[in-house]
Amino acid sequence: MTTEVLTSKKKIRILIADDHPLFRRGLKNAFSETPDIEIIAEADNGNDVLDKIRDQELSLVILDISMPGKDGLEVVKQIKTEYPKLPILIMSVYPENQYAVRFIKAGAAGYLTKESALDTLLHAVRKVSQGGKFASPEITERLAFDFLETNKPLHETLSDREYQVFLMIARGKSLTEIANELSLSVKTISTHRSRILEKMKMKKNAELIHYAINYSLI
How many domains is the chain partitioned into structurally? 2
Give the tens place of pLDDT for each residue, 120-129.
999 999 999 9
pLDDT at position 72: 83
Domain boundary residue among 104, 119, 146?
A: 146
Selection from 80-89, 146-155, 176-185 with the highest mean pLDDT: 80-89
Domain boundary residue among 116, 146, 176?
A: 146
pLDDT at position 105: 87
Q: Is pLDDT at 9 greater than 70 in this prediction?
A: no
Mean pLDDT of 162-189: 91
Same domain, 105 and 206: no
Inter-residue contact 83 to 53 (CB < 8 Å)? yes
Inter-residue contact 111 to 104 (CB < 8 Å)? yes
28 CA to centre of own chain = 20
Structural domain including 60 reads 12-146
Same domain, 136 and 196: no
Mean pLDDT of 33-61: 90
Same domain, 172 and 139: no
Q: How far is CA 204 from CA 98, 116, 155, 158, 190, in A?
A: 21, 36, 15, 17, 13
Decide if 2 is inside a domain. no
Decide if 7 is inside a domain. no
Decide if 19 is inside a domain. yes
Domain containing residue 200: CATH number: 1.10.10.10
Decide if 43 is inside a domain. yes
Inter-residue contact 5 to 86 (CB < 8 Å)? yes
Between residues 43 and 47, the one the model is more confident about: 43
pLDDT at position 4: 45
